[in-house]
Amino acid sequence: MSEIRLGVYLDSFDPVCHDHLAAARSLLEESRLDQLLLIPVFRDGDGTTGMEDHVWRMLAAACSGDKRFLPYRAGADFRDPAFLDRLISGLRKEYACKMVCCVIREEWMLLARSWHRPDNLAEIRILPAADTADSSSRIRSSLSSGRVPSALSPSVAEYITSLGLYGFPGHVPCADGWIPKLFSALNPHRFAHSLAVAVTARNLALRYGADPLLAEQAGLLHDCAKCLPLADMQQIARQDHLTDDPDFLSSGALLHSVVGARVARDAYGVGNPDILEAIAFHNTGAPGMSRLAMCVCLADYIEPNRRPFPLLEEVRSLSAVSLEQALLLSLKGTADHVLSGGNTLHPQTLETISWLQSLPACSPAVSSP
């Protein structure tokens, strides 16, 4: 196995913000690292006690967009003088590498002097305390005043605001039960995506007259079945008579929507039919779908974590003007992508495109400049 250049970045990440990720990217580039472990550490008296699970989930979501970032839960007390020694020795065995760099906050340097074997590290760098500690402190202060700072990623901001962390007034009543379960059911990328869809759906609902709380809840849960094995999805679909459509039953990309609505009902306790409809229709759409379902379907396409692809920015711009036109263009883009890959487009998507084209909001007179 070839040796990789691996770094370790220790911080409280409370909460993780753009400054943390910028410091991580700089470290990767300056030290020519292949990967960087971001390890949240907690100490009594630093305000993070009891936040460990929240910080871990937020860090996993924030790092999901860069494969070079590896969130790592050390599960040890930072005050223990043998902490770093055991951590580094364990990581060397796990990753078959030599540790090349460790970054800690400046005010933690006194603790570093008591570590058993500092020669385990090729290099220790000090991150000035003001770089991240002050940023996190300002963010917590803003949140306690009911303001969401731009220094947070959309996914992390949604995590905090839906749960009501750091004194922010939480606005999703079920979030404390849903989010841990969702985190366990999804991979980090899908978890971050779900959070971003939730906030995007909420904003679209506010703009276009749908219920923002229902849109946010549907956005959170729209992919709750996405990471189930296809065989499990098929079993749920058959035993609950959700669909006998062979195209749906043979494709997890299609089936996770209708199965997701059932999982949302049974595992998450969702009883509102409007939320369940929005989950069921979020990938193919459906003729006559509600504005709430349209908001969730469009949010899934344009959420801010999406990497660039054809039509994305055009649909995002159009979403500020017309819900119907933006959704129509997004579904046309999906249709072109599916067909260009030699795959068969599900008839429900074509039917939804035809339905949207028949709406007054999408008539040529309205759509033309």
Local confidence pLDDT in tens for the 369 residues of the chain: 457 788 888 888 999 999 999 989 988 888 888 889 898 887 554 445 578 999 999 999 999 999 999 999 876 566 666 777 777 777 777 877 766 677 776 666 655 555 555 555 556 666 665 567 778 889 999 999 999 999 999 999 999 999 999 999 988 999 999 999 999 999 999 999 999 999 999 999 999 999 999 999 999 999 999 999 999 999 999 999 999 999 899 999 999 999 999 999 999 999 999 999 999 999 999 999 999 999 999 999 999 999 998 899 999 999 999 999 999 999 999 999 888 887 778 899 999 999 999 999 998 755 543
Are residues 329 and 204 part of one domain? yes
pLDDT of residue 330: 97
Are residues 187 and 112 part of one domain? no
In which order are the strands placed within the sheet that holds 124-127?
Answer: 69-71, 35-40, 5-11, 98-105, 124-127
pLDDT of residue 45: 47
Are residues 122 and 194 part of one domain? no
Spacing of C-alpha 124 from chain mean position: 31
Q: Is residue 28 part of a domain?
A: yes
Are residues 225 and 78 part of one domain? no
**Enclosing domain of residue 215:** 178-367
What would the two tokens of residue 98 be?
A: 């030599």
Q: Which residues contact 186 (CB under 8 A, 6 or more apart)?
A: 194, 223, 224, 226, 227
Q: Is residue 209 part of a domain?
A: yes
Report long-range pairs for 204-208 (Cβ below 8 Å, ≥24 apart).
204/295, 204/298, 204/299, 204/319, 204/323, 205/291, 205/292, 205/295, 207/320, 207/323, 208/291, 208/294, 208/295, 208/323
Are residues 210 and 106 part of one domain? no
Are residues 195 and 128 part of one domain? no
Q: Could you tell me the CATH number of the domain that includes residue 323?
A: 1.10.3210.10
Are residues 139 and 186 part of one domain? no
Q: Is residue 356 part of a domain?
A: yes
Domain boundary residue among 144, 160, 187?
144
Are residues 183 and 137 part of one domain? no
Are residues 188 and 125 part of one domain? no
Number of domains in the chain: 2
| Model pTM score | 0.92
Are residues 133 and 33 part of one domain? yes
Q: Is residue 163 part of a domain?
A: no
Backbone angles phi, psi at 36, to 5 degrees: -135, 125
pLDDT of residue 278: 98
Q: Is residue 155 part of a domain?
A: no
Q: Is residue 170 part of a domain?
A: no
Domain boundary residue among 129, 144, 159?
144
Are residues 203 and 111 part of one domain? no
Q: Could you tell me the CATH number of the domain that includes residue 22?
A: 3.40.50.620
Q: Radius of gyration of the chain from Cα atoms?
A: 23
Q: Is residue 130 part of a domain?
A: yes
pLDDT of residue 23: 87
Domain boundary residue among 144, 166, 196?
144
Tokens 């949207």: give the residue.
Answer: 356
Are residues 187 and 55 part of one domain? no
pLDDT of residue 342: 79
pLDDT of residue 337: 85
Q: Is residue 168 part of a domain?
A: no
